[in-house]
Structure 1
């Protein structure tokens, strides 16, 4: 009976590989289920194997167990299918690459690496630089340099509901991209509640200004910047890319970001996961009814035009924090304006699927980001 209970529990957990998480802690578990699928499948197989010593409910437990294993492994199969055409699809959407991508879109054996870092790519040395001083605060960035002079720079903008998080968030991608010839500046920006929109976009502009001023010692090509943001940071990255009108911004990478703040306020997320309206009010400074013009002003989708830079969108369909619809709307607006872009759709993935670079979502997104950089920069 105990065996059956544990197998049923793992069956219920396996449903997170195909359905959206119903509450906050289930969302965290969903990241593990979808990005470390072999771990959960292996534990379930051990439970199935224990049936040789437990005869009561043996068949029921075995059947449910194997169904669970199939569900746990489903992200791997789906990732393999997407990977098959990913290179060709990106080249068709964005054009030919300037540099060869050393990665495969998906490699099963990388799933066995349970660390967050890609094997053979250690952390790159990082320095902390103060990039702007305001009357009431100063801001720093974490700089990951390349060894080659005059290389593009990727400005990384962290997530955290506009009110938390810092430049140390998910640094593994920073190191990987630096290993592959891109300077990385992971910035801190002014956070809500103390500061509100458009303060973070101003911070991005000041980061670009600082990096250009110190380009020689930092090995930066001042004509080639790419903005990369996650979640709330993706909203900042998109808004900066579409409103700063800086020709040195060659592209923007959007990891599961809210692109339409007006629509997002109208359809709040599951309150058991996050009070999205409260998060937006803290960042924007009022409800939509109170300050509708500010919601429009911080909606990246409102500023897409025919001069917008190329855009890479990465989003999981089972995202319970930032609705998948945001990316569909952004994709449609980019299409209408003829902007080169690519939308990497991950049907099984949830918010934060890039927690590890070696999971199904992590591998595909890492490949796509590097491919995008190799295409949009020289």
Structure 2
């Protein structure tokens, strides 16, 4: 029996094209569990790489594979993968235009003119940059301090990390609150984002909070409020301007950011940035996503201490959408249309309620899943970062 290299390589190409199609398919498939959710989150964000791989196998099938059956299979797999990945890529320009329109509607047609030229000069030039996708978004130099103890409720040490611009000065403050279903996570999350923002002229505070189910609501909110008081008290030590502060959170962290900023006795907060955060826990419990890879009701029970039927008042108190009774800080809401943890419809409802009497911007990314910004140089995060830095500059530097 003789080894036939061409047959072997053709078979390998078939397997690799099938694997690439499998990965590409999670751009459109809903994830049934947490394992596949990772693929559903990552696939659209690396779609340019997947597009190139599908194109490579298509060309191999056309010019190298001679066995007709194998050639046909590789060609079919690759064409389907190309169509799926191409859907993301061709939707980048219209999504960017829709986002630009939403920013102008929410902040004013001339909002960019309110940002000082020296601040605008440091921002990303393009909403999506292929060079940055393949080579990474430049982060720049920063100063970084770890393990800063800000509280010890019940003997539980809570710490924060601080990212500062390279030059000594006094900078607006961005307080970052990580996500993790209120049950896990730490201040090391999203370090690339924190470093990038700090390099662009902000003091970034990445804060910790106690986790469910051991600690239930309102412990997490209390910890965020304690952290804000600590930051205000020690602002000068970290070269932060306590009167120019934004809260930015992701998922559960976005929920806490909104709750903290929307309290009637909240400290001065210039704005809130909400990346795919829960806003209505009552409705979230009543109508969980389908599929529901994280088991949303179990997460809410662990966070709040019981079901909606058992604790209806606590679900209401813990829902940011119920705090829209007084003037609130400007709010930027960013959601993925394909989010199967916190559905985009909740962000849209929050925006509809907010923008009647408050400044609000709602940005939706058609192909994005929950935690899309986990891939920092990915397709969705480039768009989100482009408008987030403009929103921050408008909120904290506008003249």
Give TM-score scaled by structure 1 length.
Answer: 0.92
Aligned pairs for 1:231-246 (under 5 A) are 231-246=251-266
Which residue of 1 is the match for residue 90 of structure 2?
77
What CA RMSD, in Å, does the superposition of the two structures yield over aligned residues? Answer: 2.1
Which residue of 2 is the match for residue 105 of structure 1?
127
3-state DSSP class of the match of 1:348? Answer: coil
* Range that drifts further, 158-167 or 214-223: 214-223
Structure 1 142/120 Cα, relative in aligned 2: closer, same or farther at 3 Å? Answer: closer
Which residue of 2 is the match for residue 24 of structure 1?
34
Which residue of 2 is the match for residue 278 of structure 1?
298
Q: Does 1:371 align with 2:381?
A: no
Q: Distance in 2 between matches of 1:273 and 1:133?
A: 34
CA-to-partner distance for each residue in 1:84-139, whole Å, 9 max, x for gaps? 454454133113142443212222222212x5xx2253564233311112233221
3-state DSSP class of the match of 2:391? Answer: helix
Which residue of 2 is the match for residue 55 of structure 1?
67
Q: Which runs of 5+ in 1 are unaligned?
A: none
CA-to-partner distance for each residue in 1:355-374, whole Å, 9 max, x for gaps? 12211101011111111111
Which residue of 2 is the match for residue 7 of structure 1?
17
Which residue of 2 is the match for residue 184 of structure 1?
204
Structure 1 350/212 Cα, relative in aligned 2: closer, same or farther at 3 Å? Answer: same
Aligned pairs for 1:67-216 (under 5 A) are 67-84=80-97, 86-87=99-100, 89-95=102-108, 96-97=111-112, 98-99=115-116, 100-101=119-120, 102-103=123-124, 104-113=126-135, 115=136, 118-119=137-138, 121-122=140-141, 124-146=143-165, 147-216=167-236
Q: Distance in 2 between matches of 1:280 and 1:137?
A: 22
Q: Distance in 1 between matches of 2:153 and 2:361?
A: 37
Paired residues of 1:155 and 1:227 also in contact (CA < 8 A): yes
Paired residues of 1:306 and 1:339 also in contact (CA < 8 A): no
Paired residues of 1:260 and 1:326 also in contact (CA < 8 A): yes
* Range that drifts further, 45-54 or 325-334: 45-54
Give TM-score scaled by structure 2 length.
Answer: 0.88
* Range that drifts further, 154-163 or 352-361: 352-361
- Of structures 1 and 2, the one with the larger relative CO (CA 8 A, separation 6+) is 1
3-state DSSP class of the match of 2:364? Answer: strand
3-state DSSP class of the match of 2:222? Answer: helix
Q: Distance in 1 between matches of 2:57 and 2:277?
A: 39
Q: Distance in 2 between matches of 1:6 and 1:150?
A: 53
Structure showing greater Rg: 2
Paired residues of 1:7 and 1:44 also in contact (CA < 8 A): yes
Q: Distance in 1 between matches of 2:98 and 2:303?
A: 39
- Report the number of matched residues: 374
